[in-house]
Structure 1
């Protein structure tokens, strides 16, 4: 199993290009099942998650090819016919978002059998909202032996869906199913994330009739079929935010390119509050930090446009070196402080009570062996290692490979002393 080793203490200087959003790309790939025509996705990240979903889509009859085009990395997906509507446990368990193939398969073929999902262990994320939304569209749902059996032999029908709480995955799932339903669907209390807007805009380019994406109420007028399209994946705001925090942690001056500053505005405001200098361009963000210590900053995670839970761990790493105490409240996932003990191995002073972490800044961190527990925690530990004295080795970086494309290459190009170590980790898996 690969590891990443970081020799801390090097400030970062240079440009970091931001890749296409993982959380958008995988839903766009699933949406390609809704048409018999080719869908070409550009600005595509090459990640473990996109490759895993690609293998699942191939089981359904989807042909997939990757190449480099004039607009960067691209993936061509073409499913002229759904040859199977069965998504097995061994693939779905590896990535939660792969469960979202259920809606497109059901909408196009009228039936599907999909395993219940897996993914990062960051708390309970039940799929009941997904299934209730599909039932509101006329699907008949049965569950047994760990599988969801969904049927709509006469097609899905438009309906009224009210989510009891905001769910990105359920909003995206219902949206993909409803575009081919008969009649009009109205979704209330929908998630507003930019990735949902990207999905809706791509579906509209395919011939769907979706309005209101990015607001709490989304309306979908069902159509009988969709066509193929070319679509550029929106930039990854979590990757952009991660590198912004890395620059603040290590010091120096880094310019993010191919980014939309508006998508990480809340994070950038927090970095300014911490004492960083931020310059926003049309599609660039420059982060500069001087020699002084950072100021402590409190934050509370929230659904978009609030502070993203996917950036909480990274910002906590930054606050470990602040001059004072910060309070970080996590409101989205109940188990998303699993990185705290690992930061403690580097010398951080953090105490957790329920959904609140108190981070008392220290003057320095010291390198150590640490263990990644999930995707974003992996990035948090790399960020901490950039500023720690001596060498930090992050084990179990397969988590990191799920969501960050060439992280060590992008950071080393800016002066970080970071390298990937091949082979088994010396740290036991169940420690």
Structure 2
């Protein structure tokens, strides 16, 4: 069964939404529980698909996962960790890329790991080579087998000196999860330092890990033989917060995002203000609203933290279709993230995508035939159309475009959005959106 969302656009979104734990932290913190010799408690956990997938994978490996029926807090007990069947792992992983991060913890817990051939959002290659190379440097043996990859470390994982060619979040997390119980010292240069990575470090430190972060993107981990459990409240999801902020701008609405945190969104907030969006920043959240005047065009480049996050780019581009003038967006993190603009163009947006680096400095995608720059001319009158969701952030962007458009849109593939947006249809209904959901075979 799949769902179809029929949206009747033109209604400003107004009201309040609550954003809980970050999709880019919670599944990784759940995996980290495998490293402990006693139960861990994770709080502020959202009800999203990625949490369901990791719960299943952990349970397959003998981890007991209990959810508090009132708070939603998770208690994860890894004391009976075991090997899982390859077929079961493949069935439960689906198209998630999370299994790759279980490798280091599983090797420490049971001596081996298996990851199925991986899927994920259609926004670029996202190669797992970084991960496999990292594991090899720790002394792991990587073997390609039918349906996936088997990883083991007969002598145990050993500390290593690792340099990443690009500050990959996933590879940084792989190092952290593998190095904390590896024998000796690990030094990682070129590390990602996103707030979600720092929060994972906080989780590991609570378990007993010794980790220091230097100012030059170097992380130093002193391996310890054993780790305990943790009790941790996950940081709020800044990506979901920014998405609702863009939704308020696109639909000329007014949304208070409970849980949005200024500290982790400063670069986004600066850009939002430059575009012409209004905001009131409070201790418990941020109010985002359309001020009623014209929106301003801008020149924007995505980058790793503390730059403008790539996940913020797609919803904001929808807002830029309504600005007065020409905007330029240069994507430097994922090479194929502009595929979602095809639907916006069919809705009436004026967007051109280019292979050239239309930014202040050439990026790693330059001269490689990737369509990674976009020129957006506005304002454009959007009209409803049929849309099939291509990926998580692009899918949410299509939703808010449909909510702002004249006429009716039919959106399919919306299950992808459940991967990172908790109860998003309930939130849309609470904000006054006009839509229906139907199921199809």
TM-score class, shorter: over 0.9
Which secondary structure state, in structure 1, belongs to the residue aligned with residue 73 of structure 2?
Answer: strand
2:295 is the counterpart of 1:294: yes
**1:140 CA drift (Å):** 2.3
2:97 is the counterpart of 1:80: no
Which secondary structure state, in structure 1, belongs to the residue aligned with residue 313 of structure 2?
Answer: helix
Structure 1's unaligned 5+ residue stretches are 425-431
Which secondary structure state, in structure 2, belongs to the residue aligned with residue 223 of structure 1?
Answer: coil
CA contact (8 A) 1:92 1:118 kept: no
> For each residue in 1:95-120, what CA deviation from the matched residue of structure 2 results, as whole angstroms up to 9, or x when unmatched?
01222111110122222222232111
**1:196 CA drift (Å):** 0.7
**1:331 CA drift (Å):** 1.1
Q: TM-score of the superposition, structure 2-length normalised? A: 0.91
The worse-fitting range, judged by mean Cα deviation, of 55-64 and 103-112 is 103-112
CA distance in 2, matches of 1:323, 1:374: 28
Which secondary structure state, in structure 2, belongs to the residue aligned with residue 422 of structure 1?
Answer: strand
**1:340 CA drift (Å):** 1.0
**1:159 CA drift (Å):** 1.4
CA contact (8 A) 1:97 1:169 kept: no
Which secondary structure state, in structure 1, belongs to the residue aligned with residue 196 of structure 2?
Answer: helix
CA distance in 2, matches of 1:193, 1:215: 14
CA distance in 2, matches of 1:423, 1:26: 30
CA distance in 2, matches of 1:8, 1:55: 37
> For each residue in 1:130-151, what CA deviation from the matched residue of structure 2 results, as whole angstroms up to 9, or x when unmatched?
1221222222222243532222
Which secondary structure state, in structure 2, belongs to the residue aligned with residue 65 of structure 1?
Answer: strand
CA contact (8 A) 2:10 2:403 kept: yes
Show the 5 A alignment for 1:249-260.
249-260=250-261
2:120 is the counterpart of 1:119: yes
**1:85 CA drift (Å):** 5.2
Change (3 A) 1:278 1:420: same
Q: TM-score of the superposition, structure 1-length normalised? A: 0.93
**1:213 CA drift (Å):** 7.7
Partner of 1:197: 198
Change (3 A) 1:214 1:109: farther
Partner of 2:360: none
Partner of 2:284: 283
* RMSD between aligned residues: 1.8
CA distance in 1, matches of 2:215, 2:346: 40
CA distance in 2, matches of 1:214, 1:401: 36
Show the 5 A alignment for 1:170-319.
170-212=171-213, 216-319=217-320
Change (3 A) 1:353 1:67: same
The worse-fitting range, judged by mean Cα deviation, of 275-284 and 369-378 is 275-284
The worse-fitting range, judged by mean Cα deviation, of 379-388 and 32-41 is 32-41
CA distance in 1, matches of 2:50, 2:260: 21
**1:287 CA drift (Å):** 1.3
